[in-house]
């Protein structure tokens, strides 16, 4: 299975900064093995410039993703961006369900489910994020929360998409909210426990493809811990925030 090494730049970087980081990353990743795929989730305003930077030079090592999209083709949705617009800007991927959008922007499981299905139906690949808060974990709700987020978030992924290509098109990122941006990475036992739950849900939900869908870990991944994390059972890549902002540190993670 090809590992998916994903950078989430969040609300960081001007166009010039994004292009500079991407150019350096592309050079640093010249030895990236065929067993690794990299995607950079850049801010909307930098996507076209990033696509231009990556395009034309056969730089297939890195693909581009948007951090959000709206589940409609077009219309009166001020501030939003459609899947077609992301594709037009050079994206192959989009993120859905990120905990910052759940917590800060108030996105519900049902809305995230609509978005995930719509993005897939309209030609984007999706990294769908889930994860529990510390309160939910401490009150014994880990399995129930992940199960609910996956059941609702993947509810609209229809038969047309549950095709042989699904493992290429959809990845699930497990990101415990208490580990995001806190420097507190989940321990190996915690990661394996959660990823096992995710895998068994995926096997039930997509009997033919569940075993081949990639499950990423996210939350305070750094070059120091990435190697150990990606070698754990059912970990098929990482989603990296803070440590992805510098080309040098993300390249060390991607090559870990």
**Residues in contact with ligand PGA by the rule CB under 6 A:** 8, 175, 180-181, 218-221, 239-243
- Min dist. Cβ of residue 240 to ligand PGA (A): 5
Q: Phi first, then psi: what are they for 106, rounded to 5°?
A: 70, 30
152 is catalytic: no
Residues with Cβ < 8 Å from 10, sequence gap 6 or more? 43, 67, 100, 241
- Min dist. Cβ of residue 192 to ligand PGA (A): 19
CB 254 within 8 A of CB 5: yes
74: exposed, middle or buried (C-beta count within 10 Å: 0-12, 13-18, 19+)? exposed
The nearer residue to ligand PGA, 91 or 221, going by C-beta atoms, is 221
Residue whose entry in the numeric block shows the structure tokens 């321990």:
187
What angle is formed at CA 137 by the lines to CA 136 and CA 139, rounded to 5 degrees? Answer: 65
SS3 184: coil
- Min dist. Cβ of residue 242 to ligand PGA (A): 3
The nearer residue to ligand PGA, 9 or 201, going by C-beta atoms, is 9
98 is catalytic: yes
The nearer residue to ligand PGA, 39 or 209, going by C-beta atoms, is 39
The nearer residue to ligand PGA, 124 or 239, going by C-beta atoms, is 239
CA-only gyration radius of the chain, Å = 17
Q: Which of 98, 107, 152, 195 is catalytic?
A: 98
CB 224 within 8 A of CB 185: no
Counting Cα atoms < 13 Å in the Cβ hemisphere of 229 gives 33
Q: Are strands 36-41 and 3-8 parallel, antiparallel or unpaired?
A: parallel
The Cβ of residue 185 has, within 10 Å, a number of other Cβ atoms equal to 21
- Min dist. Cβ of residue 226 to ligand PGA (A): 10
Q: Which of 37, 107, 132, 175 is catalytic?
A: 175
The nearer residue to ligand PGA, 8 or 53, going by C-beta atoms, is 8
- Min dist. Cβ of residue 34 to ligand PGA (A): 25
Measured from each CB, the residue nearest to ligand PGA is 241
User: Which residues are marked as active site?
Assistant: 98, 175
């Amino acid at each position: 299975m090809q590992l998916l090494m994903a950078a989430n730049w969040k609300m960081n970087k001007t166009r010039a900064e994004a292009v500079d980081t991407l150019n350096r990353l592309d050079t640093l990743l010249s030895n990236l093995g065929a067993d690794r795929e990299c995607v950079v989730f850049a801010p909307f305003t930098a996507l076209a410039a990033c696509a231009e930077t990556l395009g034309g030079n056969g730089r297939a090592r890195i693909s581009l993703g948007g951090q959000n999209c709206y589940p409609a083709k077009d219309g009166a949705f001020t501030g939003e961006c459609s899947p077609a617009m992301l594709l037009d800007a050079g994206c192959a991927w989009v993120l859905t369900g990120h905990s910052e959008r759940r917590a800060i922007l108030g996105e519900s499981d049902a809305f995230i489910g609509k978005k995930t299905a719509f993005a897939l139906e309209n030609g984007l690949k999706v990294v769908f994020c889930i994860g529990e808060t510390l309160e939910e974990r401490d009150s014994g709700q880990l399995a129930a929360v992940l199960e609910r987020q996956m059941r609702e978030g993947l509810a609209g992924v229809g038969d047309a998409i549950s095709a042989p290509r699904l493992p290429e098109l959809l990845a699930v990122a497990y990101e415990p909210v208490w580990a995001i941006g806190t420097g507190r990475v989940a321990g190996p036992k915690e990661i394996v426990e959660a990823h096992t739950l995710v895998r068994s849900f995926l096997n039930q939900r997509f009997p033919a493809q569940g075993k081949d869908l990639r499950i990423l870990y996210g939350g305070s991944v750094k070059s120091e811990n990435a190697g150990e994390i990606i070698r754990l059972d059912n970990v098929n890549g990482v989603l990296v925030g803070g440590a992805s902002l510098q080309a040098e540190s993300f390249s060390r993670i991607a090559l870990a």
